[in-house]
Amino acid sequence: MTLAQLRSVRVDYRRGPALGPIDLGLAAEEVVALVGPSGCGKSTAMRLLAGLEKPTVGTVERAAGKGETSLVFQAPTLAPWLSALENVALPLLLAGEARDTALERARDCLEQVGLGRAVNARPAQLSGGMAMRASLARALASRPRLLLLDEPFAALDEITRRSLADDVLRLWAETRPAILFVTHNVEEAVYMAARVVIMTQGPGRIAGDVATPGPLPRPEGFRTSAAFRETVEDVSRILADTMKAAA
């Protein structure tokens, strides 16, 4: 079943065309990575799938309702005046859930991302990685069917990125939401997703669609496997070709 689908979608901003025409679909429980150069319209595609933006041309079909979609941005985007717990409970409170049950659910989500002991901490007291985990917990709190991750690890160090990547896949395995993972890091894309969609320089079009080998979450040692290296090379080559064609 398709959860969200862009059909012949084009987006123009005042300064010119920003995206497309592009066709991009996400099936239920599917994990797709979207890679492309900066300014190719990756974030625009994400906002379209979230229903936060309308296309200039084409249609967006969404089976997942607004309440069933969650977003994580490059920055943790937590409210500084709220504790980690209140931040995570926010989507539930906005949906009208009772405060007690919302906070209880938020506590569970924070425990799932390894922040069980930081529930009362304010965002300013969290490290970059911890804040991103809290942001992830908030996205999971509403039990989304569609999870949109917009370069969520871009501002983190390599060690934290890797452990968060494994965490996201582990959490995905529990409730299996469809995930669209936007990144400009090819290795991360191949590691995180069953399918890597490559976009051209802006206005972005689809330049390639590569299936990655092996199961999700990734087994130990996957990063050093030949299959992983080959896929990374394939995706990198397609990406390099699109850059060359644009230059």
Partner 1 sequence: MNRLAAFLAPLTLVTAILLGWELACRWMSVPVYLLPSPSAIAASIAVDWSPLAAAAWTTLSMALTALVIASVCACLLALLGGLNPLIEQAVQPIAVTVQVTPVVAIAPLVMIWTGLDHPGRAITILATIVAFFPIYSGAAAGLRAADPDLERLFDLYGASRWQKLIRLRLPSAVPFMVEGHKVATALAVIGAVVAEFVAGSGGAQGLAWRIIESANRLQTARVFAALVVLAAMATLLYALVTVAERRILGWWSGR
Interface positions with partner 1 (CB under 8 A):
47, 50-52, 66-67, 69-71, 73, 75, 77, 79-83, 90-91, 93-95, 121-125, 142
Q: Which two tokens stand for residue 30?
A: 């599917």
Q: Position 140: which residue type?
A: L
156: its two tokens? 């983190």
Rounded CA separation 143/187 (Å): 28
Nearest distance in Å: CB 236, partner 1: 30
Q: Which is nearer to partner 1, 122 or 184 (CB)?
A: 122
Q: Which is nearer to partner 1, 139 or 235 (CB)?
A: 139
Rounded to a whole number of angstroms, the minimum distance from the CB of residue 191 to partner 1 is 25
Nearer to partner 1, 100 or 220 (CB): 100
Minimum distance, C-beta of residue 176 to partner 1, in the bound complex (Å): 20
Q: How far is the CB of 234 from partner 1 (least distance, A)?
A: 33
C-beta closer to partner 1: residue 75 or 206 = 75
CA gap 235, 229 in Å, rounded: 10
For 139-206, give the DSSP string: HHHT--SEEEEESTTTTS-HHHHHHHHHHHHHHHHHH--EEEEEES-HHHHHHH-SEEEEEPSSSB-E
| Longest pairwise C-alpha distance within the chain | 56
| CB closer to partner 1, 123 vs 217 | 123
Q: Minimum distance between the CB of residue 129 and partner 1, rounded to whole angstroms?
A: 18
